[in-house]
Chain A
Amino acid sequence: MPKTITEQNLHLLVDALLREGKRVVGPKRAGTVTLYEPLRRGEELSLDELPRRSAKETFFPVCESILSYEKREGRMTVRDVDLSRLPESVLIAARSCDAAAPGILDAVFSWDYHDEFYLERRRRTVIIGLACTTADDACFCTAVGLSPAATQGSDLFLTPLAGGGYACAVVTEKGEALLTAHAGLFAEAESIEALPPAEPAAAPLDLKRIKAWLDANFEHPFWGSIAERCAGCGACAFLCPACHCFDISDEGSETKGERRKHWDACGFGKFTNHASGHNPRDVQPQRYRNRIMHKFKYYDDKFGLTLCTGCGRCIRACPVGIDIAAVLDEINSKP
């Protein structure tokens, strides 16, 4: 029989998880916007709107220390970050587009060399997804093969019910363990009446066709025409649940400090700048082309995956109105 949980009990679930010492990250009002943030109590959960930023930072922080160094009496020592101290976490009420992203990023962080900073956070996190019942003009998850009710990446999945509360589906063993441990907060229903999932207006894209066009059209006037106005601000990359480019830099003095890994963006002018001054991608259309190519060709070439979940955040935030869904739609319709 399907499990259900009331809104009140969802709050109690957060409280219970916090009491267990877990870090619970979920949508929370932050001024005039909603953001995925660590919760201090269940009542802070705010499930009405898609958070402004993705949930990516739960696994891949904007900036994190990857080691510290110190020189004492002329001798340098390097100290590792103790990953065993990372908290057990629950990402609660992650929209389908956000819950699906970590599963896509696993590929790049675990091929060949393993980035344990990301992977250890993944191991220690349970994701409770949440179906969307509303969509805005920028939502295009259905265009890239996901849907407002897609359970990819979730361990448990919540679907809002017509009479209030949520149906809770078990997706993975990790999710089942969490549900079992808090079984008292869930009820069993004979049948459920789920609210209808949102229906984004974007029509499904033929991603294979798009990739085939990208394979053949690295040099095409199209790139200049769509990206000349790109300001290179990086907002799209920073809000994206799947963009994962990063930089590494030191913070501190030559005798004591930390080495940090932090987000970067291929749209930035100096991202590829050589020490000699030569820049392989020296104008913005080349950089925008790389962004599209990375998401819909290179990542597919390498891992067989699309690096986009159709969340639409890059569209909402772009200061010059570049609409990736429209760009893809145009490519999709090219001969």
Chain B
Amino acid sequence: MCIPDKNIYKPHLATIDAIVDETHDIRTFRLVFEDEAVRDSFAFRAGQFAEYSAFGAGESTFCIASSPTRKGHIECCFRAVGRVTEALRRLEVGDTVGVRGPYGNSFPIEEFFGRNLVFVAGGIALPPLRTLIWNCLDWREKFGDITIVYGARTEADLVYKRELREWEERGDVRLVKTVDPGGNGPSWDGQVGFVPMVLEQAAPAAENTIALVCGPPVMIKFTLPVLEKLGFGDDAIYTTLENRMKCGLGKCGRCNVGNVYVCKDGPVFTAKQVKAMPQEF
């Protein structure tokens, strides 16, 4: 952890080291902390998030999308939809952003050792799983079969296209990529269909398997019954809640779902925990 102890709202400064345009409105920043001591000491776990600032516009919350196993930089991936994210998008390589964090809980990766993993993601919800996917791939021998089911509305909406190719080609991962009906072009070599349906067809075995699901609420809503049908118990399914946050520190009162504070108690929850919450997310 690397939270300043005096001013908890003060960000570290980070330089944009590289920018990748994932889609027409989704962008990845590779960030390097300017302070060498912060660069060396900044540690996080897959699933944790940070508050990123474009000075003059404010702060936005995104997960840390890179793997904790990759040192020296972090990555975030954002869609330009509002004041802060539009301001972030105007920044260029070499510009400075603010980063506060890491915050929140994380995927209990050690509990997944020896298990099979099924990642299910939709649209821009791949980044919260991508951190864990790379974490697991960097520790590949600790896990059994790894399946990734990832879909977006169209080919153009898929993020991390280069990594999808890499996962497809590495041989120790089963990648099932899909686009919604009508979202495929002539060169599309993946599936066509909504993520829950494609997951059902892919039918990963539930035995000794953990499912990790991130996506828009509607995708999660239809994916959970499929996983249940495939034999996954609610405590073998993990997801992240993507509530609006501001402080990230359990103070500003914005991200609660019932008495759960997503910024402190989450963002990672099992389906069992999510089902026990008031359905207000």
Contacts and interface: CB of A to CB of B under 8 A. Distances in A.
B58 interface: yes
B243 A250 contact: no
| B56, B82, B243, B257, most chain A CB atoms within 10 A | B56
Interface residues of A, number: 55
B98 interface: yes
Interface in A266-300: 266, 271-276, 278, 280-281, 286, 290, 293-294, 297-298
11 contacts: A69-B55, A71-B55, A76-B13, A114-B5, A248-B59, A250-B58, A259-B9, A275-B244, A276-B81, A297-B259, A298-B256
A78 B11 contact: yes
Interface stretch (A145-153, A194-202, A239-247): A239-247
Given A66-B9, A80-B7, A218 B258 contact: yes
B73 interface: no
Contacts of B252: 245-248, 264
B242 interface: yes
B6 A254 contact: no
Interface of B: 3, 5-11, 13, 53-60, 79, 81-82, 85, 87, 94, 96, 98, 216-217, 242-244, 246-247, 249-259, 261, 264, 278, 280-281
A274 B217 CA distance: 12
B11 to A, nearest CB: 7
A272 B251 contact: no
> Which 10 pairs, one residue from A and one from B, show the smallest C-beta to C-beta distance?
A254-B56, A245-B253, A76-B96, A301-B259, A298-B259, A218-B278, A113-B249, A66-B9, A250-B58, A113-B8
A259 B59 CA distance: 10
Given A113-B251, A116-B8, A266-B253, A274 B244 contact: yes
A312 B59 CA distance: 35
Given A112-B264, A246-B247, A280 B280 contact: yes
B54 A115 contact: no
A175 interface: no
Given A294-B253, A301-B259, A248 B9 contact: yes
Contacts of B9: 66-67, 248, 259, 261
A172 interface: no
A33 interface: no
Contact of B8 (A76, A115, A272, A293): A115
B246 A246 contact: yes
A290 B56 contact: no
Nearest to A80: B7
Contact of A78 (B5, B87, B98): B98
B58 A248 contact: yes
A110 to B, nearest CB: 10
B35 to A, nearest CB: 11
Given A246-B247, A273-B244, A280-B257, A78 B58 contact: no
Contacts of B82: 275
A97 B57 CA distance: 38
Contact of B243 (A244, A249, A280): A280
A94 to B, nearest CB: 23
A69 B79 CA distance: 25
A116 B81 CA distance: 33
A143 to B, nearest CB: 23
Contact of B251 (A115, A253, A278, A281): A115
Contacts of A74: 94
Contacts of B244: 271-275
Nearest to A237: B253
B216 A276 contact: yes
B217 A248 contact: no
A304 to B, nearest CB: 12
Given A113-B250, A114-B8, A250-B56, A78 B258 contact: no
B7 A112 contact: no
A280 B10 contact: no
Contacts of B253: 244-246, 264, 266, 294
A284 B36 CA distance: 48
A275 B10 CA distance: 23
